[in-house]
Structure 1
Amino acid sequence: MANEKKTVAVLYGGKSTEYEISLLTAFSVINAMDRNKYDILPVHIQQDGRWIAGEVLKDKLADKSQLLLGDNPALENQAEHWLAPSAKTTGTKRPDIIFPLLHGPNGEDGTVQGLFELLNIAYVGSGVAGSAAGMDKVMMKDVFAAHDIPGPDYLSVAKYDWEQDAPTIIQQIKELIGYPCFIKPANCGSSVGISRCVSETDVSAAINEAFRFDTKVIIEEQVNGREVEIGVIGNHKLAVSVPGEIKTHSADFYDYQSKYQDGKSTLIIPAELDEKVLAELEDVAKKAFRALNLSGLARCDVFIREKDQRVLLNEVNTMPGFTQYSMFPLLWKHTGLPYDQLIEKLIELGLERHADKQTIQYRINP
């Protein structure tokens, strides 16, 4: 039984600005998975929110358009057979584990993780609380502050407060954060909705742009220094990858276009860091992972401040970009864990976490 093939449901798409990125990720992961070990069940979450499951894939995909299962009416709503609390009565076999390759809100933020918990199905990645805190940049940084994990200065603004008294908030930004600063949606990834402000004249437009994507924004100080990322995998025992450095050439920061479109950014793997800085980086990454109660995987993004070489934690991404050319898999490839083996390791960690949770008692007198 130990060698029996596992059915892995791969979720992709979703109601998020990162829908297209999710498709690219799913295409890459599905084609890398070992079909001798796994039956791969694609599940497309359309932008209107419908879940559509396909049939088990026999061959590799030739094009990501094959992931758009909603174009085939015969396959519509098949996911309902097992994505419901009553699924046990349908006779349809549930997958052994779900691999949610969803980026951003409605996928990376604890929402689908809560569904998986209710259905008691194993899944890859962090649980409800860790995913939610990892998505909300304000909550995340509040947790880091409570654990004395250093990071850039920041300020949170709710849309209601901005609409009621914008001048006071602009004054707070000047006094507490200063310029240049970055203004971001609190719950968005892939640098969507982010602006760099060099003076007060930029603030209103930047905040209104961020509010297009969320009802809460975060304002952060600009840190002069190097941008470095490091990967973490594990549940109880954590492993860290080699670090990687990002150098951008076409923008003031690593924005959406730099990441996915113009290619004018350079990834240096491994990043050249002295032993003291590297040790501090690895320690900060592990502390952040545990502080947010994460599991499975995360990518930690930090600044190495120029003036004193201090490691400042910017954020943690609980479902980082996962194509074979994305930073997180590249970090592990250079650490000695190839893409296909990384996917297999994350599936194992998801199954391990699920098995651990089965030992929890939910009744006082069973």
Structure 2
Amino acid sequence: MKKIRLALIFGGLSPEHDVSLVSAGSVYENLNPQKYDLFCLYIDRRGMWHRVSSPKHLPPPEEAGGFPLPLIDGKGFWERVDVAFPVLHGCNGEDGTVQGLFEMAKLPYVGCGVLGSAVGMEKTFTKLIVQRAGIPVVPSLDFFRERIQQARESVVSEICAHLPFPLFVKPSTGGSSVGITKVKGAESLAEALTKAAAVSPRVLVEKAIDAQEIECAVLGDRMKAEASPLGEVVPFKEFYDYEDKYLLGKTTFHIPAPVDAALSQRLKEQAVLAFHALDLYGLARVDFLLDRTTGEAFLNEVNTLPGFTSISMYPRLWQEAGIPFPQLLDRLVELGLKRYG
């Protein structure tokens, strides 16, 4: 059987560069070498592309080599591969930009398309679309970076007038909890807004609720998508920030999540509904907040290129459903190729 020539792409310009390397290492180790002829492409922090042997063998940071696209190794590249598998988290990776590059090159690729990636990356627009589909979201306000920089006092006043404390202030784009602050009073708002605005051109301010964090993995295409069993994330810290996710290693995961069957079914249906409403494809992780006081469930965010690290929920949830990691990767590659017939 002829092997599939697969370009595994990782690194990138986003603050989630290091997370991408860990995810790509897991994908690399679980792709069946009998099925795939791998081309590993590392994007360094300058945006230059390097052909490397694996995600663990990277050029030193001070090395000035590499090539800008569409040149790899000094010559045309895309015609040498059958499918791209981007494992790029954050901006310039899961926001539709690299997906647009693949579309222009007529190269099949794993994961969501340009529109779904762009909308899923922008939390403000995700909220608007899933609300229109009838899925509840937490009350929020959003502000452009320029307004925060030029009229911060009016932004603080507007937030205090419309949302109760505590609040979460977060970048509207981005992931891995980079730039998020939990704010308990007005005196801390300005600093939190500045921090989030340094990461994203739009800042989202949400009412904080005491909630279980429930996650659901979705796999499929525009005609048929399926939801995994649910998982619960129990942060070691007050909330699930970057340090808690990737550095401390003390977060607890419950798979399956301790919720009753009726609620589990409803959240899985909402995850699939959100997947289709946002025009997602291939894979997504849909995160919910379950209010401990009222029992209400809210869609928190959608991750169009979820982590593939050893602790990441997406592969673990499908493992619970009976789909091991290598088989899950096969399914994702098949979906990517299927989109192009």
Distance 2:327 2:307 in 1: 17
- Partner residue of 1:18? 16
Deviation string 1:88-115 (CA, Å, 9 cap, x unpaired) is xx8x842100000000001110000000
Give, in angstroms, the shift of residue 198 of structure 1.
0.5
- Partner residue of 2:121? 135
Residue type at the aligned position of 2:235: T
Secondary structure of the residue aligned to 1:66 is coil
- Partner residue of 1:256? 242
- Partner residue of 2:57? 66
- Partner residue of 2:226? 239
Distance 1:81 1:182 in 2: 42
Residue type at the aligned position of 2:121: M
Residue type at the aligned position of 2:162: L
Are residues 1:147 and 2:120 paired?
no
- Partner residue of 1:363? none
Secondary structure of the residue aligned to 1:298 is strand
Distance 1:30 1:165 in 2: 47
Are residues 1:110 and 2:96 paired?
yes
Alignment equivalent of 1:46, drawn from 30, 44, 47: 44
Q: 1:315 to 1:290 in 2, by over 3 A?
A: same
Distance 2:200 2:73 in 1: 28
Report if aligned partners of 2:25, 2:56 keep a CA contact under 8 Å in 1.
Answer: no
Report if aligned partners of 2:51, 2:73 keep a CA contact under 8 Å in 1.
Answer: no
Give, in angstroms, the shift of residue 70 of structure 1.
7.7
Are residues 1:210 and 2:196 paired?
yes
Distance 1:68 1:324 in 2: 24
Give, in angstroms, the shift of residue 72 of structure 1.
7.8
Q: 1:94 to 1:72 in 2, by over 3 A?
A: farther
Are residues 1:295 and 2:285 paired?
no
Give, in angstroms, the shift of residue 67 of structure 1.
3.7
Distance 2:114 2:73 in 1: 17
Give, in angstroms, the shift of residue 79 of structure 1.
6.4
Deviation string 1:285-332 (CA, Å, 9 cap, x unpaired) is 011101110000000010112233222100000001112431111111
Instruction: List gaps (5 residues or longer) in structure 1.
Output: 356-366
Alignment equivalent of 1:163, drawn from 149, 157, 165: 149
Q: TM-score, normalised by structure 2?
A: 0.94
- Partner residue of 1:330? 316
Deviation string 1:7-31 (CA, Å, 9 cap, x unpaired) is 0000000001000111111111111
Report if aligned partners of 1:52, 1:69 keep a CA contact under 8 Å in 2.
Answer: no
Alignment equivalent of 2:207, drawn from 221, 228, 232: 221
Distance 1:170 1:207 in 2: 9
Identity level (%) = 37
Give, in angstroms, the shift of residue 265 of structure 1.
1.0
Distance 1:176 1:288 in 2: 27
Secondary structure of the residue aligned to 1:261 is helix
Report if aligned partners of 1:324, 1:339 keep a CA contact under 8 Å in 2.
Answer: no
- Partner residue of 1:359? none
Secondary structure of the residue aligned to 2:339 is helix
Distance 1:283 1:238 in 2: 10
Give, in angstroms, the shift of residue 82 of structure 1.
6.9
Alignment equivalent of 1:77, drawn from 67, 70, 75: 67
Deviation string 1:333-365 (CA, Å, 9 cap, x unpaired) is 11100011111110001011122xxxxxxxxxx
Distance 2:174 2:196 in 1: 9
Secondary structure of the residue aligned to 1:170 is helix
Are residues 1:268 and 2:254 paired?
yes
- Partner residue of 1:123? 109
Give, in angstroms, the shift of residue 69 of structure 1.
8.1
Secondary structure of the residue aligned to 2:85 is strand
Distance 1:109 1:120 in 2: 18
Report if aligned partners of 2:213, 2:234 keep a CA contact under 8 Å in 1.
Answer: yes
Residue type at the aligned position of 2:67: N
Report if aligned partners of 1:12, 1:44 keep a CA contact under 8 Å in 2.
Answer: yes
Indicate the structure (1 or 2) with the bigger Cα radius of gyration.
1
Residue type at the aligned position of 2:227: V
Secondary structure of the residue aligned to 1:53 is strand
Residue type at the aligned position of 1:26: A
Q: 1:38 to 1:71 in 2, by over 3 A?
A: farther
- Partner residue of 2:34? 36
Q: TM-score, normalised by structure 1?
A: 0.88
Residue type at the aligned position of 1:337: I
User: How many residue pairs end up in the alignment?
Assistant: 340
- Partner residue of 1:4? 2
Secondary structure of the residue aligned to 1:308 is coil
With a CA cutoff of 8 Å and minimum separation of 6, indicate the structure with the bigger relative contact order: 2
Are residues 1:190 and 2:181 paired?
no
Name the stretch that deviates more: 123-132 or 161-170.
161-170
